[in-house]
Structures are given as C-alpha cells and as structure tokens.
Amino acid sequence: MNLRAVLFDYGMVLSTPPVVSAHLRLLGISALSADVFDRHYWAHRHAYDEGKFTGEGYWHKVASDAGIGFSPQQIKDLIEADIFMWSGINAPMLEWARSVGRAGFKTGILSNIGFELATAMENNFPWVAEFKYTIWSCRLATAKPDPKIFRSALEKLQVAPREILFIDDREENIRAAREAGFLGSVFKDVPQLRHDLNEQGLSKLLPAL
C-alpha cells in the first residue's frame, strides 16, 4: 500500500461541533424559534455550499422562507455569527493533520463550505496555509458527495486515487470518495479514527494519532 496524500473535511473533523453561544446568537438576531430557524437554516445550506448563494443571498432566502425579512445590519450580524459558529477547532485532529503534512504527505482540506467561512478561515487561521491543497465547494460550484468534487481533488493532488485517504464525518461522502477510488474513514472521534486506521493497515504509514 502506497499512501501519498490525506484530505480532511473541515466541519466536525478539523472543527468542533457548532459553537452553542453562536447558535444562540443566530436565534436572537433572527427572532425565530430554534425549530423554525434550524429548518430554514439547513434547507438551502447545500446550495450555499455549492456557491449558488452569497452569504447575503442565503440569509435573504432563509428569511423569505420563514415569512420574515432581515435588515442589512441583521444580515451582517448573521454572517458573522454563522462564521463564529463553525470556528471552533478540534485541536487534537488539527495537530495530527499538521503532523501528517510535516511527515511528507500531501495534505488538503476538502470541505463543503460557503464563501464567507472559507474566506474567514484563510484570513484568520494561519494554519490553513499548511494545507497545500484546499478544495472549497463554493469555489468549484459543486459539493460532496458529487463525484465532480473528487475529480477536482485528483487534479490538484496529482496522485492515484488509491494513494489518497479522505477523512469525513458523513458516511455518504466517504462512500462517494471510495467510489472515486480513494481510501476513506468516517470520522466520529479520535479513538474511533485510530482504530479505523489500524484496521485498514494505515496507522503504520502515518504519524501516531
């Protein structure tokens, strides 16, 4: 087995679960109940990740579907709170991912993500630059599990699919990666990932997790 590259999802892999205080802030700004807010928040999130909406357009769509309107200041505040909600870092995973890069593997982030969060990460997280192969769905106009995003990853990495390990928290994304020929692991937590890498015979090739 020849492993040359490791791709990491961002949300719920390199990041923590959503920051609770930021979610509460979003509810306060929108003045919607949690059930109503979450329903409309997720309804068009995939399209937002595909780059079909800017942050402003996305939040106007959330408001329209909920039968309300947001002022320009509310839109600005919602975008900022949404960025903060997804800015918690899973420190053990990030440090291991960085160690994988330092060990000589090609490393990248393959994430379903909107324009505003991708830009905020690049501007505010210096460590993002250590991942030489960032693949942001919004900038490709396609999102996981669409096969096109995995073809884009292959074009960037310039290695064989079987030489790439992809780590993502969603089963459907790992299934799509495997269909593209990648190795894959569904992430739940560090002990589970350690076990999975060992089961696949990959732990001996990578830095200790």
- How far does CA 99 lie from the centroid of its chain? 19
Nearest to 166 by CA among 138, 128, 125, 196: 196
Longest dimension (CA), the chain: 55
The contacts found for 148-152 with CB under 8 angstroms, 24 or more apart, are: 149/110, 150/176, 150/177, 150/180, 150/182, 151/180
Residue whose C-alpha is closest to residue 133's, from 98, 109, 150: 109
CATH class of domain segment(s) 5-16+89-199: alpha beta
Domain range list for the chain: 5-16+89-199, 20-85
Q: What is the pTM of this model?
A: 0.96
pLDDT along the chain (209 residues), means of 10: 96 98 98 98 98 98 98 98 98 98 98 98 97 97 98 97 98 98 98 97 97
pLDDT value at position 202? 97
What's the pLDDT at 15? 98
Q: What integer pLDDT is reported at residue 1 of this predicted model?
A: 83
pLDDT confidence of residue 58? 98
**What pLDDT does 73 receive?**
98
Q: Position of tokens 């830009």?
A: 119
Sign of the dihedral through C-alpha 165, 167, 173, 174: positive
User: 144 CB contacts (<8 Å, ≥6 apart)?
Assistant: 110, 112, 137, 150, 168, 170, 172, 173, 176
CA-CA distance, 132 to 52, in Å (whole number)?
A: 25
